[in-house]
């Protein structure tokens, strides 16, 4: 009897085991259509987003440390090598002109929105809607999606605190006799930020050109581009830098230089630094991917860490004044583009 009962129990276990195995083998067969659909979807996504390879050539202005960090981060993220040319806005534009017959650059970043508009007017830019465009500061992408303000600078008054302990003079007041021969300005024909400031100053105020003349009469000098102009104030050769680029000041102050910066009460020009994809880009897919990357959280933080104003409204700065706290002149960029080069040349002629 025990033997018979044991045989029955063994038969029951075998039946249960087969039933369990049958349930396990049936499930993959039922989910096969879903797996096929998932594979098809992945294939479609891969087709829509081709894997990147090769290189992208980017022309960038200072700060050099930021350009290097952006390039390294983009390469790590995508595997695409970044070939760079770093220079002032004037140097970058000169290089583009020299390469017209044999285009090299894919993406160009300038420190001057008006110069970016000039490139657009020449018909040389590709239209594109970058990633995170909905988070970009209002007005920092043009209506035709050709200029992308991924970061910005503003110009202010930078002064040496060992020469002048405190300063808050507005732009016209810098022509006062007490500042005679103490004032300098970056060369606006080399500094895109200074050039755009002067264009905004003469088009956005009633007496901009007269104030420029008064600065010149008060001994205004032009030591060179942004770096050389700031150096003249840092060393105490000059006490005040009119229209100094703010990120340079904040960086120098963080290193312990005896400098301070403020934005005059009547306002200044905040200058989005346009990133642009050239129509002639030899590596178009990589160029678009690089512009997408510029608006990523990682790249925006790198810009903020370099004391630039981020292009995205949801990214804030530490260690510098944020966009919402900078008084601004009214800016009409079309008018500024028309007068920027002439105004820069005039300022230089006044200071000779």
pLDDT (tens digit, 9 = 90+) per residue, 228-237?
Answer: 999 999 999 9
DSSP-assigned letter for residue 111: S
Residue with tokens 């300098």, as numbered in its chain: 184
Give the pLDDT of residue 153: 95
SS3 at position 12: helix
Give the pLDDT of residue 250: 97
Q: Mean pLDDT of all residues in the chain? A: 88
Closest CA to 294 of 312, 268, 272: 312
Examine the pLDDT at 43 and tell me if it is beyond 60. Answer: no
| Residue partners of 274: CB distance under 8 A and separation at least 6 | 109, 110, 112, 113, 116, 147, 148, 149
Closest CA to 246 of 165, 186, 166: 186
Give the pLDDT of residue 49: 54
DSSP-assigned letter for residue 51: P
Examine the pLDDT at 23 and tell me if it is beyond 90. Answer: no
Give the pLDDT of residue 31: 37
Mean pLDDT calculated for residue range 308-324: 95
Give the pLDDT of residue 50: 60
Residue with tokens 């049958």, as numbered in its chain: 22
Give the pLDDT of residue 19: 39
SS3 at position 13: helix
**Rounded percentage of the chain residues whose pLDDT exceeds 90:** 80
Give the pLDDT of residue 64: 74
User: Residue 134, Cβ neighbours under 10 Å: how many?
Assistant: 8
Higher pLDDT, 29 or 277: 277
Examine the pLDDT at 140 and tell me if it is beyond 70. Answer: yes
Give the pLDDT of residue 90: 86
Give the pLDDT of residue 51: 84
Examine the pLDDT at 13 and tell me if it is beyond 90. Answer: no
């Amino acid at each position: 009897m025990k033997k018979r009962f044991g045989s029955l129990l063994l038969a029951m276990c075998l039946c249960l085991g087969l039933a369990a195995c049958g349930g396990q083998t049936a499930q993959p067969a039922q989910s096969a259509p879903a797996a096929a659909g998932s594979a098809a979807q992945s294939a479609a996504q891969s087709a829509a987003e081709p894997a990147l390879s090769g290189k992208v050539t980017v022309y960038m202005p200072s700060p050099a440390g930021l350009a290097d960090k952006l390039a390294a981060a983009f390469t790590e993220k995508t595997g695409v090598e970044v070939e760079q040319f770093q220079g002032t806005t004037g140097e970058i534009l000169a290089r583009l002109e020299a390469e017209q017959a044999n285009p090299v650059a894919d993406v160009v970043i300038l420190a001057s929105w008006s110069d970016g508009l000039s490139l657009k007017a020449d018909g040389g830019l590709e239209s594109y809607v970058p990633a995170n465009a909905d988070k970009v500061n209002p007005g920092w992408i043009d209506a035709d999606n050709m200029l992308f303000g991924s970061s910005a600078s503003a110009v202010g008054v930078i002064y040496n605190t060992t020469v002048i302990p405190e300063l808050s003079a507005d732009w016209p007041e810098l022509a006062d006799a007490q500042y005679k021969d103490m004032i300098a300005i970056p060369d606006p024909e080399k500094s895109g930020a200074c050039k755009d400031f002067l264009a905004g100053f003469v088009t956005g105020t009633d007496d901009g050109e007269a104030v420029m003349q008064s600065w010149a009469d008060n001994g205004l000098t032009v030591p060179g581009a942004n770096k050389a102009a700031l150096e003249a104030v840092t060393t105490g050769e000059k006490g005040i830098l009119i229209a100094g680029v703010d990120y340079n000041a904040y960086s120098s102050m963080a290193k312990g230089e005896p400098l301070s910066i403020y934005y005059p009460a009547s306002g200044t020009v905040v200058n989005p630094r346009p990133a642009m994809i050239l129509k002639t880009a030899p590596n178009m897919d990589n160029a678009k991917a690089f512009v997408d990357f510029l608006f990523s959280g990682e790249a925006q933080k790198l810009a903020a860490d370099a004391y630039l104003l981020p292009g995205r409204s949801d990214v804030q700065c530490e260690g510098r004044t944020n966009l919402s706290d900078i008084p601004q002149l009214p800016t009409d960029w079309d008018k500024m583009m028309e007068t920027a080069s002439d105004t820069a040349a005039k300022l230089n002629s006044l200071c000779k």
